[in-house]
Amino acid sequence: AGVQLIHTRLGESLMPCEHGGKLTSNSSLNFICMGRGLHMTITITSMVTRAAVEVEDSAYGRWTQLNWVDYFNSAIKEICRLKFDAYTKRANVVLASGVIQALPSDGHRLIRPTRNMGADGVTVGNAVRFVELDPQNSFSETWYSQTNGTSVDDVFYDSRHPLEFFVSPPASTYYLEIIYAAIPAVVVIGSNFPLIDIYETPAIYFAKGFAHQANRADVDFNRANAFMELAFSSLGLQKGSEKETER
């Protein structure tokens, strides 16, 4: 509640919107827009089939389809953790009164605020500056106790405390548009892959790594490590180094 979401997945009832994409709504999230150029055309079924064939288990004797779906859910989360821009949403969030604000429940990192959206969530206002929290605290020790404003001038953020952000002046109840990194909903065998196509191969490597981790044989641990190395490499990262957490 209180979020107007500008993103959706395929398969919902859609109609044209002003952003050049499609517009829909549901009971809890309003004005959902899916822009052009998204490539979520791969199914979890096809990815499960591919992974099983590649590990020479197309009859699902070692791992069932449900096992593979669990591994792909873990893979999707791992990709989103390592690449926070792998799955992003743009949403109008209604601010709580005061300075401290929370990301939507599916968010794990604020990418940036964009603009004020008024008391109704549709009235476009001024752009918003995005600033680190520590310099603001050094500059003004009393900014937390300012009088509530009618729009946001600045948003402050500390990535070490990623689920909250701070606004100045303190908010009344009005809307702010933000872009944030989210975790997709859990997939099932009939789902579409929620990330864009370039993440299909890393997800398959991760899923095969998780599958082999589930077995206790030393040879499977070696295979698991090899698949994990391939997954990190395909994301442009190096497993076991600080590059894993670079943003």
- Could you read off the pLDDT of 104-122 as tens digits, one per residue? 999 999 999 999 999 999 9
- Could you read off the pLDDT of 61-114 as tens digits, one per residue? 999 999 999 999 999 999 999 999 999 999 999 999 999 999 999 999 999 999
Nearest CA-CA partner of 43 in 58, 13, 15, 65: 65
0.85 surpassed by pTM: no
Q: How many Å apart are CA 51 and CA 47, to the nearest integer?
A: 6
- Could you read off the pLDDT of 160-199 as tens digits, one per residue? 999 999 999 998 889 999 999 999 999 999 999 999 999 9
Question: From the CB of residue 63, how many other CB atoms can be counted at a distance below 10 Å?
Answer: 22
**Using an 8 Å Cβ cutoff, are 29 and 4 in contact?**
yes
**Using an 8 Å Cβ cutoff, are 154 and 168 in contact?**
yes
Nearest CA-CA partner of 191 in 31, 28, 48: 48
What one-letter code names the amino acid at 126? N
Grouping H, G, I as helix, E, B as strand and the rest as coil, residue 96 is coil
Cross-strand partners of 90: 179
Q: How many Å apart are CA 194 and CA 41, to the nearest integer?
A: 9
